[in-house]
Amino acid sequence: MLKLIYLTVLFLYGVIAQNCEDDSQGQCSATTSAPFDQTKNWNSASSIYDFHATDIYGKDVGLDKYRDHVCIIVNVASNCGFTDVNYRELVQLYEKYSEKEGLRILAFPSNQFGGQEPGTSEEILNFVKKYNVTFDLFEKIDVNGDNAHPLWKWLKTQAGGFITDDIKWNFTKFIINKEGKVVSRHSPSTDPLQMESELKKYF
């Protein structure tokens, strides 16, 4: 009798183990990985692909859509002394390399420097029409301080600035490689076309 009970238990254990092995949904797993919380855990991100942001049309965008692309991430403003040259040259780079090499540009309006981006999303979109901007624009954010977007908090830890890591002004530019890692940071006074030779190394 005891032998029969023992064999029955062994049989049932084998069935359960096999079901767990065949469970394509992973329902028998003891643990599941929690989604990345960028607000709390931004500092533990491994690449830009861990983040998401709201685009200028109000749509939430996972930055993993930029996987395998070289990217420029830049904070922009409409009324800055650097506005004209940066928009013109960013558009030139994008038109030259977006199709051929997969370059992507992520532009984040910010009003933190001299109040030079005071407009609404609609007003910003109307402004950039004069430059024929077709690269990706996001909603207006803070890039410094406690309310800074988590992506920008992380970017600053990956490539520090002069004296402090804070963004110093509009049009600070980060180059991101195809693995989603920050490879360089460029000051507002660096014109986009000055980065062209470096970009070519990562295509």
Active site residue 20: no
Query: Measured between alpha carbons, how far is 74 from 172 in angstroms, rounded to an integer?
Result: 6
Furthest CA-CA distance within the chain? 91
Query: Measured between alpha carbons, how far is 50 from 83 in angstroms, rounded to an integer?
Result: 29
Query: Measured between alpha carbons, how far is 93 from 156 in angstroms, rounded to an integer?
Result: 24
Q: ∠25-11-2 over CA atoms, to 5°?
A: 145
φ and ψ at residue 16, rounded to 5 degrees: -60, -45
Among residues 20, 28, 71, 80, which one is catalytic?
A: 80
53's tokens: 């942001």
Question: What is the set of active-site residues?
Answer: 80
